A and B are shown apart, each in its own frame.
Chain A
Amino acid sequence: MEKTEREEEYLEEIRRAEEDGKKCTTTFLAKKLKISPASVSEMLKKLKTKGYIEYSPYGNVQLTDYGRDVGKQVLDKHRVAEEFLLMLGLDETEIHEEACRIEHALSDRVFAALSDFLKNCDKISPLSEMGEGETGVIVRIDTDAICRGRGHGRGYGCAWGALKRLSDLGFTPKTVVVVKRKAPLSGPVEVEIRGTTVCISQNYAKGIIVRKTEG
């Protein structure tokens, strides 16, 4: 059954109220959506016939199971869009409106890909920012971070060949590392890598980019 953007907008709002535990009435929706109560009643009737909601006049609007699924999905898309916009550097005040437009354009496939990306983004950090006991996989070695501020040319003996020493000790992409210990006062990080324990100073740990994994 085709659903319009407006319908999606309603279902999203009803779902949000349900999540927050608020009473969802015609007046409430009218205020939220900035629409006259009369138009809201009209739309609610339409939604009821399509089987999205149940309601009695002057009572609460309730989502059917089907309606809840749709509402939840739109809301999730809205949130992912907001998160993404925030990451792009947009202001918090403007992201809601923008996300309201994007949410309807997101196909399920793009939505899944985007939320996956955001999930991993969150997990990608320098080794220096991982906590004790956390496991990760090396994504890449940020040579600039490791050589930052040093007078040597890149690649050639940068910081006495620290890069080479790191890769000789097995700090190469796709390698699993476990953070065993972090010394206080931005001290070195002790990691388990390839069956051995190695400790590296904070300045090198900052240049080793890892993706956190479970266990």
Chain B
Amino acid sequence: MLRFALAGNANVGKSVIFNALTGLDQHVGNWPGKTVELFSGKLHFENQEIEIVDLPGIYSFDTYSMEEEVTREYIISQKPDVVINVVDASALERNLYFTLQLLELTPNVVLVLNQMDIAERRGMQIDVRKLAEILGVPVVPAVAVRGAGIVETIKAAVEVTGKRQRMHGEFKFGHEVEKRIRKLTLLLQKYSIPYPPRFMAIRLLEKDLQMRKLAEKIDRNILTAADILANEIAEIHHEACEAVISAERYAVCAEIVRRVVRKRTVRRKNIEFLDYISTHRVYGYLLLGGIIAGIFTFVFYTGSLIAAGMENFFEWLGSGYFARFGESRTTRIIWDGLVAGGIGGALGVVLPFVLPFYVLLAILEQSGYLARAAFLMDSLMHRIGLHGKAFIPLVLGYGCNVPACVGCRIMETERERTLAAFLSTLVPCSARTVVILGVTGIFMGIHWAIALYAFNLVVVFGVGKIISRLLPGTGTGLIMEIPGLRVPQPLVVLKQTWFRVKEFLVIAMPIIMAGSIAIVVLDTYGVLGHVNAALSPLIVSWLGLPAVVGFTLIFGVLRKELTVVMLAVFLGTANFAAVLSPLQMLVFTVVVMFYVPCVATIAALVRELGWKKAIAITGFEIGFALLLGGIIFRVGLIAGV
């Protein structure tokens, strides 16, 4: 079986090509020990089965980020038959920077010049044959979104496997640099190393940390030689050696572009106008606010309709179930715990709220808008020790905290990932929105609900500010390519949504189901009563709430919206205003909003950050919510709410 790997920069249409090649036959797996996901799928071509692996989008082969490391190690250790390098034809210079490095690593490359239509619209004419000649690899022009060039790509890749490719080592750097690369390459040739010597030599001169470690293990002399050579280069150019190498590599790219691209200036009024508005210092923020408000309104109106429908469906199913199997302790546990509580409850949040929310977000992401939102939010995020990109997981959190925690992987450092994941668990997810709207919103008025959202933002901001001071290290900044605005591809949008919702289904569903059964069993055997009794001093005297709220908070650990459902059950009415004072409702809502990440979120935190941090975050939030609840109760009493 042949194995092809797709590699290239981010935002070049790699996933469109991947989808076109593999259809829906896709798998996702984690690279051993890393949280970087690798998608793979199969394809049949001329009686051959071909496995396609989609490597993460990267700019270079340095091991500063996990994506870069995984891509490099995959190509070296898994030895795919061909690496299909997808490049954005409209940004050839930037993309060739990666291509040149790839060619240092492996000769078995096919270059796909994707987005040829965009390049043409921007007035660029690319001499494909000349490019192939210069690079020494097949070059296939493509417009993947229209399916153009897909078959040709596979054909070219299969042809490459039939030939023995020779290493293309002839992209020369400037004389002084080239001489030293050769020197180091010659030295490396004496050892057995897992990388092509020239590739490793260049990495060493660029002071790649992992390469240095490897070199040290093989022979300390390599490292010494590399350092001496790098210093010589730095002294000649009065600049760090790695910067010199980047600059010279880019010089080669620019020269190639000069030889193969003819460009005339084209103005595209509509796109330019949208681009202008989207990051404008006034209109940009208005647009962002409008979009967010629009999404929320849409999701919660349509969501409640779907939720009501699902509730009816499960009721109908339940009556059928009990008619068929009879009422007993066991059937109750199976129904309440597993079916209605576990599956129904979990889907009851995902289908109506999370799914539509994530579809809309994926559309924004694919259109290139989210990157612009990150640009607008950067300065605000800096104040809480993060940068613009963290805006994305935080917004994801409004759907469900689980994919939000997973989404924090886009942050570059451990510190940023921890902080972003922590803050995104404070964001009211759709389950908590059910509580906020269902208690405060209905019985105290929508302005109170909106005030609570605003209060939540203040808390997230304040906690972020404090925690970012406490965490060791200092904040980093935003460096992000802003993709051109474009029409999102439905298939890519659905895939993106699916993989986010899948985070929920894979991490959250089993835990919710198991937890749900456990709690129903405990309740059936009267254990919860004792827990409730133990909690009641805290609930009654500190928070000023009815003792039964203890129960609801236990259930809420499973799913936050259960707090409302159970509250209605225990109070014997869904008209909370009849049994609770406005202050009590307020305290209840605030406590539910913060008191603990739900089990699924805790599981996600454990997976992303490890046990210690997950426990610390959970502990903090329990204490914080109780403290806050107690304070609000007392302030409310004095203020006479």
Which residues of chain B have C-beta atoms less than 8 A from A175's C-beta?
250
Partner of A204, one of B206, B281, B479: B479
Q: Is the CB of A201 within 8 A of B382?
A: yes
Which residues of chain A have C-beta atoms less than 8 A from B413's C-beta?
160
Partner of A143, one of B209, B240, B250: B240
Q: A155-B240, A157-B64, A174-B247 are in contact. Are A169 and B479 (CB under 8 A)?
A: yes
State whether the Cβ of B93 lies closer than 8 Å to any Cβ in chain A. yes
Q: Report the Cα distance A202→B65, complex, angstroms.
A: 22
State whether the Cβ of A164 lies closer than 8 Å to any Cβ in chain B. yes
State whether the Cβ of B91 lies closer than 8 Å to any Cβ in chain A. yes
Q: Which residues between 118 and 165 of chain A lie within 8 Å of chain B, taking CB atoms?
A: 140-141, 143, 149-151, 155-157, 159-165
Q: Which residues between 469 and 508 of chain B lie within 8 Å of chain A, taking CB atoms?
A: 473-474, 476-484
State whether the Cβ of A173 lies closer than 8 Å to any Cβ in chain B. yes
Q: Which residues between 3 and 52 of chain A lie within 8 Å of chain B, taking CB atoms?
A: none
Q: Is the CB of B378 within 8 A of A188?
A: yes
Partner of A190, one of B242, B279, B379: B279
Which residues of chain A have C-beta atoms less than 8 A from B474's C-beta?
149-151
Partner of A187, one of B65, B207, B378: B378
Q: A160-B413, A173-B247, A183-B279 are in contact. Are A199 and B375 (CB under 8 A)?
A: yes
Which residues of chain B have C-beta atoms less than 8 A from A184's C-beta?
281, 379
Q: Report the Cα distance A162→B412, complex, angstroms.
A: 10
Q: Which residues between 235 and 287 of chain B lie within 8 Å of chain A, taking CB atoms?
A: 239-240, 242-243, 246-247, 250, 254, 279-281
Q: Is the CB of A188 within 8 A of B388?
A: yes
Q: A184-B281, A187-B378 are in contact. Are A159 and B243 (CB under 8 A)?
A: no
Residues of B within 8 A of A (CB): 59-60, 62, 64-65, 90-94, 97, 206-207, 209, 239-240, 242-243, 246-247, 250, 254, 279-281, 371, 374-376, 378-380, 382, 387-388, 412-413, 473-474, 476-484
Give B280's nearest chain A residue, CB to CB.
A181
Residue of A156, A157, A190, A197 with highest tally of chain B CB at under 10 A: A197
Q: A168-B59, A198-B480, A199-B478 are in contact. Are A190 and B239 (CB under 8 A)?
A: no
Partner of A167, one of B65, B94, B243, B279: B243
Q: Report the Cα distance A125→B575, complex, angstroms.
A: 65
Instruction: State the interface size on chain A (CB cutoff 8 A).
Output: 46
State whether the Cβ of A107 lies closer than 8 Å to any Cβ in chain B. no
Q: Report the Cα distance A159→B241, complex, angstroms.
A: 18
Which residues of chain B have C-beta atoms less than 8 A from A166's C-beta?
479
Q: Report the Cα distance A29→B380, complex, angstroms.
A: 61
The 27 listed contacts between A and B (C-beta, < 8 Å) are: A141-B239, A150-B474, A151-B474, A157-B64, A160-B64, A162-B479, A165-B64, A167-B242, A167-B247, A169-B479, A175-B250, A181-B375, A182-B281, A183-B281, A185-B380, A187-B378, A194-B94, A195-B90, A195-B92, A195-B94, A198-B479, A198-B480, A199-B388, A199-B480, A199-B482, A200-B480, A201-B387
Q: Report the Cα distance A183→B376, complex, angstroms.
A: 6
Give A138's nearest chain B residue, CB to CB.
B247
Q: Report the Cα distance A161→B64, complex, angstroms.
A: 6
Q: A161-B64, A175-B250 are in contact. Are A202 and B239 (CB under 8 A)?
A: no
CB distance from B277 to the nearest CB of A (A): 11
CB distance from B234 to the nearest CB of A (A): 10
Q: Is the CB of B281 within 8 A of A201?
A: no
Closest 7 A/B residue pairs (Cβ): A201-B477, A187-B379, A161-B64, A167-B246, A172-B247, A197-B482, A201-B478
Partner of B378, one of A141, A143, A183: A183
Q: Is the CB of A188 within 8 A of B478?
A: yes
Q: Is the CB of B482 within 8 A of A198?
A: yes
Q: Is the CB of A156 within 8 A of B379?
A: no
State whether the Cβ of A196 lies closer than 8 Å to any Cβ in chain B. yes
Partner of A155, one of B90, B207, B481: B207
